[in-house]
Amino acid sequence: MAQRGWLIDLGRCIGCHSCTVACKAEQNTAPANSPLLFKGGSPQRPLHLSYRWVVVQEGGTYPNVWRTFVTSACNHCQTPACMNSCPVNAISKRASDGIVLIDQEKCIGCKYCVWACPYGAPQWNESSQKVEKCTLCVERVDKGLQPACATTCVGKALTYVPDFNPAQAGQNAPEGFSDPALTKPSARFVKK
């Protein structure tokens, strides 16, 4: 089976969040806070969905301190915990390219996938009462384009890999990344 995935260069990510913004724009996910008001003037309840986000890791002691930024999203795992936990088979992995998708028509909003994913990729949508996640911009990929996050990365830290090598699953994972043996994520990292 073919597999699409990510190459993430930890030394190049500057924490600008352009990947997060590009994903929000492409997928039209909800912002963290909304300035919109309902009738009567009450503020709209904040809703937040981010299919891609940036994790900030810091450590060391003065004067030897360090900071690393890790762009994160669904890793379109080779053995997805989210798919294996879904009681209604709403989550599938495309045989043609390994992209993991959630069928919104089948999703019952049980959140089992949210709890099962070691990477935090599935996101609860309070408005729809269903779970959503990164689709690897499947509509773009199917047209021969790259995912929006990869095309927008200012530091060229995030690279879309159309022919990901499964043997490199989670290679060079940063501190705190879940054990790659659990799900075989389609992401490889380059360390600083």
User: In CATH, what number is assigned to the domain containing residue 142?
Assistant: 3.30.70.20
Is 95 a domain residue? yes
Is 157 a domain residue? yes
Domain holding 158, by residue range, is 5-29+49-190
Is 41 a domain residue? no
DSSP codes joined into one string, 108-150: ----HHHHH-TT---EEETTTTEEE---TTHHHHTTTPPPHHH
The number of folded domains in the chain is: 1
Q: How confident is the model at residue 139 (pLDDT cuts 50, 70, 90)?
A: very high
DSSP H or E run through 17: none
Is 43 a domain residue? no
Q: How confident is the model at residue 36 (pLDDT cuts 50, 70, 90)?
A: low
Check pLDDT > 80 for residue 126: yes
pTM of the entire predicted model: 0.88
Is 61 a domain residue? yes
Is 35 a domain residue? no
pLDDT of residue 33: 54
Is 134 a domain residue? yes
Is 121 a domain residue? yes
